[in-house]
Amino acid sequence: MFIFRWLSIVLMVLAIMLLGADLVATLEKHVLVIRSLQDVILLFSYDTKDALISNFPLQIVAVGNIILDSPGWVVLAIISFIFGIIAPSSKAVRPLPPPPPIPR
């Protein structure tokens, strides 16, 4: 479970970095800039849409295109949230302290 917790934190940091990059690009260009997951992966010189179309059936291609066309930071944040739910904290939850006495 430690791996899921660690991966959740790393993906959330990457999602925040992508959101910050979109914000900086928007401020520089004075036009709303939101990079899709496909645009982010293309930075690494890999075209996922061609690989998706050539290797999978049409139903999976349709879902894959929806995921690839959505903002990169949203996809990473959702995956990070799911991993965070899968791996809850291993720390024991302490009971709440008793309330202070009521002066009378």
H-helix or E-strand spanning residue 8? helix 2-29
Per-residue DSSP letter, 7: H
What pLDDT is stored for residue 77 in this prediction? Answer: 95
pLDDT per residue of the chain (104 residues) written in tens, 0 to 9: 788 889 999 999 999 999 999 999 999 999 999 999 999 999 998 888 888 999 999 999 999 999 999 999 999 999 999 998 888 777 777 888 999 998 88
What pLDDT is stored for residue 67 in this prediction? Answer: 93
Q: Count Cα neighbours of 89 within 13 Å in the Cβ-side half-sphere.
A: 4
What pLDDT is stored for residue 90 in this prediction? Answer: 74
Question: Residue 73: which residues within 8 A CB-CB, separation 6 or more?
Answer: 15, 16, 18, 19, 22
C-beta neighbour count of 15 within 10 angstroms: 21
